[in-house]
Amino acid sequence: MNNYNNFSYSRTYKGPVRLVVLDWSGTVVDYGCLAPAKVFVALFQSRGVPISMEQARAPMGRYKKDHIRAIFEWNAGVRDKWQEKHGREWEESDVESMFTEYKEMQLKVLGDHNDIIPGCIEACKWMRENGIFIGGSTGFFKEAVNAYLKLVEGKGYQPDLMLCSDDVPEGRPAPWMIHENMKKAGVYPASAVVKVDDSLTGIEAGLNAGAWTVGITRAGTLVGKSQAELDSMNPKKIRELISQAKRMLLKEGAHYTIPSIADLPNVIREINAQLAAGVQP
């Protein structure tokens, strides 16, 4: 009599990539991910608590309410400044009121940061020609996503799906937005999915979903510079910033890193070769 408890069974997906889940700012639009970073700095300044750009960027990729909370939780100096200014510790009610203010501030500046990152349209065209569903996930709230989609509609970027934290029970680094993309695209297993993101939180979400992960360096939040700023910088400094971003993304667990979305097709070809050889993420 066979004892099936003594056996284990597995199968390996060897097909191609079928779904790519793209982030938003710093990945497909807004070179340097400037729109949210600048608003977080201005938001805390409006409460009499100045924060650095580094502090504003550190939680990038999270739902924006969670992002505000993380700035408090991760920075003793910010908490001390709040205590000094307001005579008390920060509270969850502060996060709620600041999130309401943040949304108003963010919507006002989206129009200043809606340029498509060079190479994005061409990369998406290549993906569609190769039967890849173009999904998306972002830490932005629903009103911002809808406004952004309208702004870029005439510029040639139209993902098949774009989800935000409002669409799922919990934002990144939870994997639910990626899983929802998979469900709506009808794509499984997770090894057929690539998550592309410029934030550490986004890479973590991709890993939590069991997908391949590709981190953006030059165009993303970890370098944090506009194209114009980079064009005026010392080339050695640019290389240092990109190298630092690459190290951070790889340490977070990214399978690959690329300067920008323009380089994505080559990575997908490599992933397809890996999958065909039986390699899993």
Positions marked active-site: 23, 64
How far is residue 166's CA from residue 61's CA, in Å, rounded to a whole number? 14
In whole angstroms, what separates CA 247 from the centre of its chain? Answer: 17
Q: Tokens 């920008």, residue?
A: 260
Q: Which residue type occupies 255?
A: H
DSSP 225: -
Q: Which residues pair with 258 in a beta bridge?
A: 216
Q: How many helices (H) and strands (E) does the chain have?
A: 12, 6
* Nearest alpha carbon to residue 30 among 10, 57, 50: 57
For 247, residues 6+ apart whose C-beta sits below 8 A from its C-beta are none
- Determine contact, residues 177/171, Cβ cutoff 8 Å: yes
